[in-house]
Amino acid sequence: MSRAVVAPIAILAGALLLAGLIFGAIGSSLFGLGDPKLVTQPVLHLAPQPVACIGGEFVGAVCEGGFAITNTLISAWLTTAVILFFFIVGTRKAALVPSRLQSIIEVLIEAILGFVTSVAGEKNGRRFFPILMTIFVFVAFNAWMALLPIYPNVGFRADPNGPVTTHLLRSAGTDVNLPLALAIISFFFVEIWGLKVHGIGYFREFIRLGGLIKGIVKFKPGMIFYGAINAAIGILEALSHMIRLLSFTFRLFGNMVAGEIVLFMVTFLVVFLVPVTFYFLEILVGGVQALIFTGLTLVFAVMAVAPHAEHEEEH
């Protein structure tokens, strides 16, 4: 770009940055300007806020005795609609020479399918692929759509001159129910795949009493010792399967909530230009968290369907 084009853009960017610093929160408290003129202090909620109550009524900010339709639920519906639109319209007239939307979908599917089959092998990869692709697309689209500017700005006000207090849309990952639901689904499917491949023998992973019983019957202290350790390891395995539910939930929840708080705070402190870097960070975090959720489910599924290693300990 020639100097004649860069110079005005640089001056404008510098002016925006300076104005944001001075009239945002940092400058207002440094120079004693009172309340920041450009932005209002963000009100951070942890729990999702109910927008409508079906069969109950609002008592304060909570829905009593009915089904609360929260802003995260509306946001998840919107994401589902966008995903369906994206994939249905893209594959409607599927041609051998793909259109633009179809080629985007092909790139996405080939990337995830390659990843899944590289870890799980060809046959298992194809079996795991639908669930894993759904989890990836759902988490990623939820995280990315929350970066649209419509999300923090549309909602209901408590008083007509103040800021928006009840948002209409909010990132679905910030409601702890969504990561919990995805974690339960992933746990459920991993166990189902393990049971399908191994039958009832899948529980031999957790109940490893063979060595202990043989040791007690033959009355060899060495075998009893190793048998007891094996049994304890089996219990630890069962425990670690349960702990995965918690770790999946809080990994996704923590990342989404921390991202939302960071974006609000940075926009409050420095109003212009600097939040753009944090938006790039949030795009990265959304994609990475989707990939990690999918990848970890894949790894646990591969471990669950792996053929048992036969331990033959003859002492």
Partner 1 sequence: METLAILAATAGGTAIGAEAAKWLGVGLAGLGLAGAGIGLGILGNGAMNALGRNPDARDAIVPNMVLALAFTEAIGIYGLVTAILLIFVA
> Which residues bind to partner 1, rule: CB under 8 A?
44-47, 247, 250-251, 253-255, 257-258, 261, 291-292, 295-296, 299
CB of 243 to partner 1, least distance (A): 11
Pick 84 or 299: Cβ nearer partner 1: 299
Pick 30 or 44: Cβ nearer partner 1: 44
Pick 207 or 246: Cβ nearer partner 1: 246
CB of 120 to partner 1, least distance (A): 13
- The total of other beta-carbon atoms located within 10 Å of residue 178's CB is 24
Closest listed residue to residue 133, CA positions, set 293, 300, 302: 293
CB of 253 to partner 1, least distance (A): 7
- The total of other beta-carbon atoms located within 10 Å of residue 173's CB is 28
CB-based burial, 114-135: b 16+ in 10 Å, e otherwise:
ebbbeebeeebbebbbebbbeb
Sort 8 into a burial class: Cβ within 10 Å, 0-12 / 13-18 / 19+.
Answer: exposed
CB of 43 to partner 1, least distance (A): 11
Closest listed residue to residue 194, CA positions, set 277, 302, 275: 302
Pick 231 or 301: Cβ nearer partner 1: 301
Pick 94 or 181: Cβ nearer partner 1: 181
CB of 179 to partner 1, least distance (A): 11
What is the Cα–Cα distance from 315 to 312, expressed in whole angstroms? 10
Structural contact between residues 258 and 251, judged by C-beta atoms closer than 8 angstroms: no
